[in-house]
Amino acid sequence: MKIQFLDLKAPYIELKNELDEAYKRVMESGWYILGKECETFEKEFANYCGTRYCIGVGNGLDALHIILRAYDIGEGDEVIVPANTYIATWLAVSYAGAKPIPIEPDEKTYNINPTLIEQAITERTKAIIAVHLYGQPADMDLINYIAKKHNLQVIEDAAQAHGAKYKGRRTGSLGDAAGFSFYPGKNLGAIGDGGAITTNDPVLAEKVQILRNYGSKIKYYNEVKGFNSRLDELQAALLRVKLSKLDEWNERRSIVANRYLENLRNCNGIVLPYVPKWAEPSWHLFAVLYSEREELQSYLFKNGIDTLIHYPIPPHLSEAYADRGDKIGDFPITEHIAKSVLSLPMGPHLNQGQQLEIIGRLNVYTNKKFC
């Protein structure tokens, strides 16, 4: 029995009729960019997140980049980012011409540690990007409080957190603006690339709408040097179908997560995800820490179980950011996570039998080794 990390075909099988219908509707419409489907999806997703506006864009990285541009953040500015994140968070800041200022994570949640933010703020700081890593919401009240005090924008990187809740409110509505990704493997995934920006701010909403489409509101009248980053009609139509299933699929992820939490408690050396009282995670990933991660990964692999590492090299140590001159040891908590993190199979279509096989293997491996 082979257990995939994530079955990307299963959602299609489950929703085949509706997805095929949406595909056909777009194909036969003769209209493929910025039309009814995108507009309707934007309304539906804004409604889902509890925001006034949603603007579809080309991908998650563009979503973050365009938000920063719309806030006029660029050359000479600093943006506070988590040290422990996917590199896209940093790249958005770099694209805008600003400097990412990394902050170590909280040791339990792996998300940005709000108590370390204030000491990193300078007169150049313009914004804080909070990432809801693995679908665990960041501690937004504290982040918003600090931001307000220093007059900074708060941007959520919600690329892994569609539908996750913080104190009962959905991600995407917790800061000044949020960027989402609809990369196929995300909780709400397109059949290709896609992304969106959510916000309650009408001025920002209009700016990003102009920026995503060559800087023009009226065709061929270009107010600013914009970008080409649009959510196409086909992706929007398919996303509308999948959005109708998002809560149910997230609920299934949560059942999987709780089964792991319950049944891996006695595995020696495995550090399980910590969920604060106020968090309802979207469980994009189920990431554990284990000091001999490579050995564990190859044991599982030999037994037909695929796992992944999110992420093996933190942005500050990646070659792309070699120009920063960071050294090993500069962000020890982030580096410790990168060295020991392992993502177990997780998704709405992972069945109980498969999961019990994974749980069994993990118990045998970790207990044989240490007992």
Ligand X SMILES: *Cc1c(COP(=O)(O)O)cnc(C)c1O
Chain centroid to Cα 246, Å, comes to 15
Beta pairing class for 165-166 and 279-280: antiparallel
Give whichever of 48 and 110 is closer to ligand X, judged by the CB atom.
Answer: 110
Taken in order 155, 343, 191, 229, the sign of the CA dihedral is positive
As measured in angstroms, the least distance from the Cβ of 310 to ligand X is 8
CA 125 to chain centre: 23
Query: What's the min distance (Å) between Cβ of 56 and ligand X?
Result: 12
Q: How far is the CB of 283 from ligand X (least distance, A)?
A: 14
Smallest gap, in angstroms, from Cβ of residue 112 to ligand X? 12
Q: Which residues of 53-70 are buried (b: 16+ CB within 10 A; e: fewer)?
A: bbbbbbbbbbbbbbbbbb
Structure tokens at 126: 């313009």
Least distance (Å) from ligand X to the CB of residue 106? 16
Q: Which residues bind ligand X (CB under 6 A)?
A: 59-61, 85-86, 88-89, 131, 157, 159-160, 181, 183, 193, 195
Closest to 66 in 3D by CA, of 211, 244, 198: 211
Toward ligand X, which CB reaches closer, 188 or 264?
188
Shortest reach from residue 185's CB to ligand X, in Å: 8
For the bound state, the minimum distance from the C-beta of residue 360 to ligand X, rounded and expressed in Å, comes to: 30
By residue count, the chain amounts to: 371
Query: Smaller CB distance to ligand X: residue 239 or 264?
Result: 239
Residue 17 tokens read as 């009729």
Shortest distance (Å) from residue 85 CB to ligand X: 6
Run of H or E including 237: helix 233-243
User: How far apart are alpha carbons 327 and 244 in whole angstroms?
Assistant: 46
Would you give the distance in Å from CA 353 to the centre of its chain?
28
Q: Which is nearer to ligand X, 59 or 173 (CB)?
A: 59
Give 60 or 100: the residue with its C-beta nearer to ligand X. Answer: 60
Please say which residue, 175 or 354, places its beta carbon nearer to ligand X.
175
- Between 189 and 365, CB nearer to ligand X: 189
Query: Nearest CA to 315 among 294, 304, 330?
Result: 330
> Residue 170 is encoded by which pair of tokens?
């959905």
Q: Which is nearer to ligand X, 59 or 343 (CB)?
A: 59
User: How far is Cα 59 from Cα 79, in angstroms, rounded to an integer?
Assistant: 20
261, 265, 267, 268 alpha-carbon torsion, rounded to 10°: 130
Region at 168 (left for phi over 0; alpha for psi -120 to 50; beta for the rest): left
Name, in order, each residue with C-beta under 8 angstroms of 312's C-beta and a sequence gap of 6 or more.
338
**Residue with smallest beta-carbon separation from ligand X:** 60
Residue 199: CB minimum distance to ligand X, A = 17
Q: Which is nearer to ligand X, 66 or 264 (CB)?
A: 66
